[in-house]
Amino acid sequence: MTKDEEKLFDVDIFNDAGEPIGAKPWPQVDRRRDVLRNAFVYVFTPEREMLLATITEEHLSKKIYKGKLGSPAVTLVRHGESCEKAATRALVNDLAIYSSKLVHLGDTFETFNDGTKRHMCVFFCVHDANVKPNGHMLANVRRVRRQDMETLLRLNPEQFSPQFVQSYQRYKRHFPF
């Protein structure tokens, strides 16, 4: 798919009650103000470590949490696309993971401390740490053990994206680490 073709898709838009109200072409989406649905994938290694990424600060990126730590595979769900298909697309695009069993943790409508609102479809997968991060999306990826993750969150939660913090707190008891 070419860069121009990538921009030729619609994204579903929701109202503040979480009900679908229509769709917008990708270039017209306001990632801060529009209520969107995303697929969020936590990736764990067989050694029971979580992959943690820094969201790129590249000026061309439409990511709103540039420079923050978060999950290495996150994407907006396209109009007519299932959350699982979007999660699989994120794994391929962000980490070059082409095959992995996704475990669905849940779907929630969330309002974050920065005012953004999302329908979040949250998954995890276990994959060896042999990944190829997409430099346009991620500045780096590292392995983190549960104890280290809890310390990082306790000492400086502002270094993480609000979506990561809220979904981590909601689903951490289900994580395989």
Q: What kind and span of H or E run contains 172?
A: none
* Cα 103 to Cα 7: distance, rounded to the nearest angstrom: 28
Residues across the chain: 177
For residue 1, the number of C-alpha atoms closer than 13 Å in the C-beta half-sphere is 9
Task: For residue range 105-133, list pLDDT tens digits in order.
Answer: 999 999 988 888 899 999 999 998 788 98
Flag whether 144 is in a domain: yes
How many beta carbons lie within 10 A of that of residue 27, not counting itself?
9
Q: Which residue has the tokens 């276990």?
A: 126
Is residue 120 one of the residues assigned to a domain?
A: yes
Domain annotation covers residue 69: yes
Residue 12 domain flag? no
Considering only 36-50, 97-111, 132-146, which range has the smallest mean pLDDT? 132-146
**Averaged confidence pLDDT in the chain:** 89
Higher-pLDDT residue of 139, 38: 38
Residue span of the structural domain in which 127 resides: 37-174
66 band by pLDDT with thresholds 50, 70 and 90:
confident
pLDDT reported for residue 48: 94
The identity of residue 136, as a single letter, is H
Q: Is the pLDDT of residue 6 over 90?
A: no
| Residue 32 belongs to some domain of the structure | no
**Residue 57 has what pLDDT?**
66
- List pLDDT tens digits, range 75-101: 999 999 999 999 999 999 999 999 889
Residue 22 in any domain: the answer is no
Q: Please report whether residue 1 resides in a domain.
A: no
DSSP assignment string, 106-128: EEEEEE-TTS-EEEEEEEEEE--
CA dihedral (170, 68, 102, 21) in degrees, to 10, reads 80
* pLDDT for res 18: 79
For the chain, how many structural domains are there in total? 1
Please give the pLDDT value at position 7. Answer: 63
Q: How far apart are the first and last CA of the chain?
A: 36
> What are 154-164's pLDDT values in tens digits?
999 999 999 99
Residue bearing tokens 């095959």: 99
Q: What is the CATH number of the domain that holds 43?
A: 3.90.79.10
Please give the average per-residue pLDDT across 26-42, as a whole number: 91
Task: Indicate whether 14 belongs to any domain.
Answer: no
